[in-house]
Structure 1
Amino acid sequence: MPARLGNAGVGLRGFIAWWSAGLRAWLPLRWQHLLSANGDRVLLQVQGDGVQLRRQRADSVQDVAMLPLQVHGAADGRDPLAGVLADAAAELPRWLVLPASQGLRRPLLLPAAARERLRDMLAFEIERQTPFAAADVVHDGRLLGVREDGQLQVELVVVPRRALDAQMTQLGAMTATLAGVDLLDAEGRTLGVNLLPPAQRLQERNPWRVWNLILGAVALLALGLALAQVVDNRRAAADALQAEVASRSTQARAVAEQRQRLVDAVEGGAYLQRQRNGRASVIEVIDALSPRLPDGTYLEKLSIEGEQLTLLGLSNQAAALVGKLEGAPQWDLPALSGALQTDPRTRMDRFTIVAQLRGTAAEKSTDKQGAAGGAR
């Protein structure tokens, strides 16, 4: 069995109407009446010499008044029903309803592609499905359901144009206020079609249209301002981030420079310490000199400049001093610097001896470890 869609309509509007009706069904009855007021309408049905007025709601039809036709036959420029309908009902759309005997209904199967232009597609079926010419009738259609194969179950509704014109003539000035023409079924219920040609329908004036446009413009303006504010916030955040990155970069460079200075200081201190550890100290040199200097030898000056040891003094055995200083582990290559000079007061020879200081065992061990590390 295909799904029954009733009068929900087609396309997006049909879906919205069906969805809205489903939501309203969960609300209390009073709220349903308030929310469905936009779907109310006033039904006009010609019955003999009068016009029966009814107010149709979503779930009920209520009689309003029965008025003679002659009251509505004269057009005086005013709304013929202004004094009959209540203020709320006077603003509702007005529909002429025709009896079921004046219409002809034919069920059809159409492809799914015809759903969006159902009325236009049904116009081509009038002459094949009814004994009338397309120009002699007014028509509309309604969607009954969708089959499992995707085909649409549609009902074509036609009314002879002369029957509609006769009813419109009886209404007189009322025809100018009609929003549509509907047809009753065998049980007296409206089908939910609009047989009135679109050019003759009264276009409902939406009193909220201007306000809706104003509110829409305000909403667009607010949206634009919000987007602009978001862009400004993002730009400010980006600028703040760049400033923070620049500040952090400056700090990082300062830290790197301090670290490099610290590394240089540590390496310089280590180098100086290695230099100090790489040669004999002054105490060691003096301790090594004391047993090697013979009696009658006096030192006036002992200096160490770099790797060079210099001894100045007086001795009565100056020529033998070089031999006595050889073989010491603290220095190497002792030699006289310059000629010996006799001091006239002490009658001793004045000498100057230079020697090259040797490296200590710690320095040699460090050198060996550095060489081994380089090999690795």
Structure 2
Amino acid sequence: MSRSLLDRFSAWIDTVAGALVGAAGRLGRRRSVTLVETEPGRFVMAGADAADSGAAAPIRLDDGGRLPAGVAARIAGRAVALELARGRFLFRPLDLPRQAAAFLDGIVRAQLDRLTPWHAGDAVYGWTPPAEAAGERIALTVAATARTGIAPLLDALTREGARTIVVAVRPDDAAAPVRVLEHALPGRIGIAQVRRALLAVLIAAALAAVAATLAEQIVGADLDASRADLDRRIAARRIALLAARGGGDAATAAVRALEQRKHDGAPTVLVLEALSRALPDHTFVTEMHIEGDKVQVMGLSRDAPALIRLLEQSSNFTRATFYAPTTRAAEDPGERFHIEARIRAPIEVTP
């Protein structure tokens, strides 16, 4: 599987996981709550929740105390969007080749200690959507801050029963928020968990399909062999019963001969399958007659003389010859042929 297919499959899995988590979140909560930092450590509740809760005045999250009752009631059980002030973050531009767009997560993580004072494990970070730049390149801005600086804020919201916490920052007033962290309480299902579950389900389904296909082939082949063996035993039993009943009677002997001929003769469907494998694609069979171990074939072909050689080379036919002249009519797309050949028993038709 090529790299592009793997990337598309991974993106599809992420999209489905995000959609499932989003749908579950919409079913399990009322509205989300947005807290915007207006000055260091002070937040206001944005939107209609501020007026409903009487929380228009700034509130503090990092002093270890409890929040006002109205604010706490709005936070409990909900998703909280925490929009931090730009002063908490470092913003660094990053210029990359356009081909790096599919691998931004790993690239930014690897270069974070070069761009900022923190290692990736000690920081929370995100980046703006990449913008096209000259020379087949892309430009983006990385926003990062120390993880320890926002830990008290997460603890305060966790104490108040927030369901999930999304931390973001705006690089400027006109820009969309850049998500730097998504914090879920223990027991909550996140995108990574859903992604692993989806992969497990898909792998299990693929293995089940392969197992079912193998089982069908094995069991089908065994059933075909059992049926053929049963047919042979039934035919032999019929011949024995006729012999026991009729003795030397001529009619009984004729019936026995017919039974034996039917038993020994090659099945028509196998002969037709062997012919279809031996004859080229430009050859069309219009009639076929089987008499004992002899088959007569009539049809059209662009190269009728070559058919004799092809039938002789087949492991299922021998002594192939034309039993009537080969002709060509003006309206025919090829030569009309009449070929007779001997059938080699048993017919062998390989997949």
Q: TM-score range by the shorter chain?
A: 0.3 to 0.5
- TM-score of the two chains, using structure 2 as the length reference: 0.41
Larger Rg belongs to: 1
- TM-score of the two chains, using structure 1 as the length reference: 0.39
